[in-house]
Amino acid sequence: MKLTTQEMLDKFANNTSHPQEVRRLAMMIFDGINDTLKEMSNKQRKYLEEASLLHDIGYYIDSKSHNKHSQKMILECGLDDYDEREKQIIACVCRYHRGGLPDKKEHEIYCNFDKKTRKIVKRLAGILKISDGLDRAHLNLIKKIRINYDSENNITEFYLTPNNFDYHPDITYAIRKKDLFEIGFKTQVVFKFEA
């Protein structure tokens, strides 16, 4: 029996506030990118939303390689609302929210995608990685994200508004996790705090 996203969350997630926050951040980033690049579809937004909610369900099995467990669980148990290819895309986005980068020679599911689909996975997983990094402390410290694309210098600027203006949260993990976004969008990422 295949499960819906909500059923998988209810069954496998011991904490739902972090996935909800990662989804909120990911949707802000996606919408901000689409306002400047306009290259992603509503369907891709939905894939990212599902992956944001399910990216950590692999902790149910083990914290080590939980991203790979999340991928496997989605492929085996879930996403009743999606066809097999869509399920594979969402599962791969979950897998690449941490750890190694996608490898079209080594990673079985990813290497079977065509070039266009691999690009979608890289972009969505890149957004998910940054979103997860911004909520590393699981404290919902970012109120708003505004995206600006500097086309002259090919820089994507993330303007972060913290929930508490007197405190700038540690964004070290988001900075460390920007690699896949930079590869997927072929741009450089810079984070700035907005007053």
Backbone angles phi, psi at 152, to 5 degrees: -65, -40
pLDDT tens, 5-16?
A: 999 999 998 888
Instruction: Tell me the whole-structure pTM to 2 decimals.
Output: 0.95
In the numeric block, the tokens 């972060």 are attached to 160
Region of 110 please: left (phi>0), alpha (psi -120 to 50) or beta: alpha
Check pLDDT > 80 for residue 121: yes
Q: What is the pLDDT of residue 1?
A: 66
The candidate with the shortest Cα–Cα distance to 74, out of 51, 97, 52, is 51
Residue (of 97, 25, 28) closest to 57 by Cα position? 97
Is residue 7 a contact partner of residue 159, using CB atoms and an 8 Å limit?
no
- The pLDDT of residue 127 is 98
> What one-character DSSP code corresponds to residue 16?
-
Q: In order of start, what are the domains of the chain with their CATH numbers?
A: 5-138 (1.10.3210.10)
- Mean pLDDT, the chain, whole residue set: 93
User: Tens digit of pLDDT for each residue in 65-89?
Assistant: 999 999 999 999 978 889 999 999 9
Q: In what order do the strands lie in the sheet with 142-150?
A: 142-150, 155-162, 188-193
- C-alpha 117/C-alpha 109 separation (Å) is 11
Mean pLDDT of 175-185: 96
CA dihedral (146, 152, 155, 160) in degrees, to 10, reads -20
CA triplet 140, 45, 129: central angle to 5 degrees? 45
